Amino acid sequence: MGYSKRAFIGISWMSGFRVVSRVIATGRGILLARILTPAQFGVFGIASVILSFLEILTETGINVFLIQEKSNIDKFVSSAWLVSILRGAFICLVLIIASPFIINFFNMPDLHRFLFLISLVPLIRGFINPAIVKYQKELEFKKEFWLRIAIYIFDSAISIAFALILRDAIGFVWGLIAGAILEVILSFILFKPRPEVKFEFNFLKLIINRGKWVTAYGIFNYIAKEGDSIVVAKLLGATSVGIYKMGYSLSTLPISEISDVVNKVVFPVYSKISEDKERLLKAFTKTLLAVSVPIVILSLIIFFLPRIFFEILLTPKWGDVVIILKILVVYGMLRGISGLSSSLFLALGKQNFVAGMTFARFFILAVTIVPLTASFGIVGASFSALLSALLELPLIGFYILRVFKSLN
């Protein structure tokens, strides 16, 4: 079977997962939005943002390395597992130690219990068998679909159950913990080899050295993606960040889901044909055109949805979401299309390109987010995000030209 057909099948399966998971997530969000307040969503949102930041800050690029590797990856599994365990333990410890400072910074006393509980998530995830990446590496996306959907449904069911019983957003954290435990168990049941705790300096050095640009990309991408939420939380409080994150999710996630699905599938495909630049250019061009059309159509649908739809969906207490919807949907459209270049650069081992383009977006956000948010509230934060996406585009175009200049 050719790579184009395998990629199409992979996109179909991963799209199926995204559709199912987002339907569940939307239903879960709407259900709990009727029970919980924007402030409760905001506190959980900040806890998850802090966790994401520490995970990105310590990202080793193990999965990218294993997918890029042309030889058998079994010899790297134990070393990758050791790195993953140490990373998870480190994140857990930092979250616990830093929690008083984080609580004081955001002035959210209720945040402490979220931080202590969510610190268990990276600790548990650290024990996932790195061989789990084989489904993606070998383009076995049907199996990847059933694995991910099982974990996601379990996570969501636990989240909803605990949130309904406790009437508290802490239920989301219990869902994350449950999902992490299930993923660890399945990774050892379904994948071989099973890792052993052993220290192999050369492999560790190779993994860490290859992943340094992935770490840099992750840090810049995180700040560019979540920096607006952090500033909104600091300047405007828990209620405003809850509304902002809800608006962000409704307007950008449906669009970014398309891009994320395609990137996950085409990255291993691009890696396999990376030495044939002409073939790679054709594959990238086809992907770009095929994905841009549905992204633009979906963006227009969200942009022109009537205000009453969201008021019925979320109840009047979430009415301010509509104010930022149109700005963020344009941001989501630009990110959905421009983000398709990331898988191309990673497949070619150009992690520095991915880090560079993300730094550009981070820089614009860093310069504009505070003054715009202070002056215009969540509307200003939305415009800051949009500016960062717009000004990233020229650099992405430059990098693409550099990659394919030898074909001219």
Condensed to tens digits (0 to 9), the pLDDT of residues 137-161 reads: 666 667 777 888 888 888 888 888 8
pTM score over 0.85: no
User: Could you tell me which residues come within 8 angstroms of residue 200 by beta carbon, excluding any fewer than 6 positions away?
Assistant: 78, 79
HSE-up (13 A, CA, CB side) for residue 73: 27
The pLDDT, as a whole number, for residue 348 is 81
Could you list the mean pLDDT of each consecutive 10-residue stretch along the chain, which spans 408 residues?
Answer: 57 64 68 69 77 70 63 72 86 88 80 86 88 71 79 86 81 88 90 75 65 63 71 78 76 68 73 79 85 84 69 64 83 85 81 82 87 89 89 89 73
The distance of Cα 259 from the centroid of its chain, to the nearest Å, equals 11
Tokens of 195: 């890792």
Closest CA to 56 of 217, 211, 183: 217
